[in-house]
Amino acid sequence: MQVPLWFALLVVGYLGVKLIRPPAWLIAVLLLGGFLLADSVLAPVIDHFVK
């Protein structure tokens, strides 16, 4: 079975928020930080460590 990445992330994110109940500011900081890191000069270094 193949599941699209966006759907898997949506399900994991929904369950994480529903079960762990992190504060809204923490979710916003993590999303914004990930978005900004993906467009920074550190992106190739991060990509190398992730793969």
Give the per-residue pLDDT at 18.
Answer: 94
Distance CA 38, CA 32 (A): 10
pTM, two decimals, is 0.67
- Smallest CA-to-CA distance from 46 within 36, 30, 37, 28 is with 37
Closest listed residue to residue 22, CA positions, set 33, 11, 30: 30
Q: Output the tens digit of pLDDT for each of the chain's 51 residues.
A: 899 989 999 999 999 999 999 999 999 999 999 999 888 998 998 888 888
Extents of the domains making up the chain: 21-51
